Copies of this chain bind each other. A is one copy, B any other.
Amino acid sequence: MGGDRAPDEIVAGAVRARDELGVDVVLVGRPEDLPDTGDLSVIPASEVIAMDADPGRSVRTMKDSSLVRAAEAVRDGKACAMVSAGNTGATMASALLRMKRLPGVGRPAIATPIPCPGADVPTVLLDAGANAECTPEWLVQFAQMGSVYARQRYGIAQPKVGLLSIGEEPSKGTPLVKETHALLADGSWSDVSGGVFIGNVEGRDIMSPDVDVVVTDGFTGNVVLKTLEGGMKALVKAILASFETDDATREAGNTLLPALLPLYGQLDPDNTGGAMLLGLNGPCIISHGSSSATAIVNAVKVAAEMVDGDLVGAIARTIRPA
């Protein structure tokens, strides 16, 4: 029920995911509002949390909402993972309250893949917005969870982990960054996760293959994510506008479009498979609000892979509660 193009695109994506990937998809929502579900089963939920609703209050009061019911389905073993293109805050709150944190996890974090133009794998940025304020200990867990995720999702045996700051020196940044740097430099955090701390990284390193996992608080991470989103969009728009200068540039633009398509595909958020909420007792994928059917297919694909590879179990082994 969630997302700007729900339910049509979401249901279409779910049907395609079943048909193309062979994944058993269960829908959650108002059966009477759904288009043709192609025989997918539906867990009924009478309420819908609006895209702009207050997350905490909605989840507490709308117990028969599709988001809460979806999270309960994972909790109860009726589903292995949850995918939503709905209200991000409410998705997180539902997943947190129903699926619960893994033992020892301070806070769940949103891991978002940032495409690196021309490179094979994206950079994983976390926390991309779950926790505006963080402690150094949580950031260390983000490094652990992000490393496990980068290993499992992108096959990087020893992910390079960087701490986002405003200079390479350990003395640069806020007290949070400096304290986290000291904890990460110690190295004992990494043994199970396989991550390797490469020190502080700067904003300019995020879209580069020099770092695989970028760790930061959820305020900075969300600002970075949206800054890149806006910056890329503005630049692409201006470039396409320059193609419209005259007939010659229009024709040249048409010649170039096929060569630009792979790059366009790499930057299209529909193709990333969505962001992943890490640290909970079940995978939860946050797909962007404007998700198309293709975005849902990719999100379901990632969810299935994370279930098959036991991402949650691997994170639980990495965190090891005291």
In the complex, A233 has a CB within 8 A of chain B: yes
Which 3 residue pairs are nearest across A and B when measured between Cβ atoms?
A: A204-B230, A203-B226, A203-B227
In the complex, A229 has a CB within 8 A of chain B: yes
Count class of interface residues, chain A: 35 or more
| Contact yes or no, A174 B133, CB < 8 A | yes
Which chain B residues border A228 with CB–CB below 8 Å?
203, 227-228, 231
| Contact yes or no, A226 B202, CB < 8 A | yes
Q: Interface residues of A: mostly helix, strand, loop or mixed?
A: helix
Q: A88: nearest residue on chain B (CB-CB)?
A: B167
Which chain B residues border A260 with CB–CB below 8 Å?
239, 242
In the complex, A194 has a CB within 8 A of chain B: no
In the complex, A41 has a CB within 8 A of chain B: no
| Contact yes or no, A174 B219, CB < 8 A | yes
* Cβ contact of A239, chosen from B203, B230, B251, B263, cutoff 8 A: B263
In the complex, A164 has a CB within 8 A of chain B: yes
Q: Name which of A23-31, A205-213, A286-294, A301-309 contacts chain B.
A: A205-213
| Contact yes or no, A242 B256, CB < 8 A | yes
Q: Which residues of A contact B (CB under 8 A)?
A: 116-118, 129, 132-133, 164-166, 172-175, 177, 202-208, 216, 218-220, 222-239, 241-243, 245-246, 248-249, 251-253, 255-256, 259-260, 262-263, 267
Q: A233: nearest residue on chain B (CB-CB)?
A: B204
| Measured CA separation A238–B263 after assembly (Å) | 7
| Contact yes or no, B220 A234, CB < 8 A | no
Q: A203-B230, A206-B231, A248-B255 are in contact. Are A118 and B237 (CB under 8 A)?
A: yes
| Contact yes or no, A230 B206, CB < 8 A | yes
- Chain B nearest Cβ from A184, distance in angstroms: 18
Which chain B residues border A238 with CB–CB below 8 Å?
117-118, 263
Q: A253: nearest residue on chain B (CB-CB)?
A: B256
- Chain B nearest Cβ from A262, distance in angstroms: 8
**Please, could you name 11 A-B residue pairs with CB atoms under 8 Å apart, sorted by A?**
A174-B219, A177-B219, A202-B223, A203-B224, A205-B230, A219-B220, A227-B231, A231-B231, A231-B232, A242-B256, A251-B252
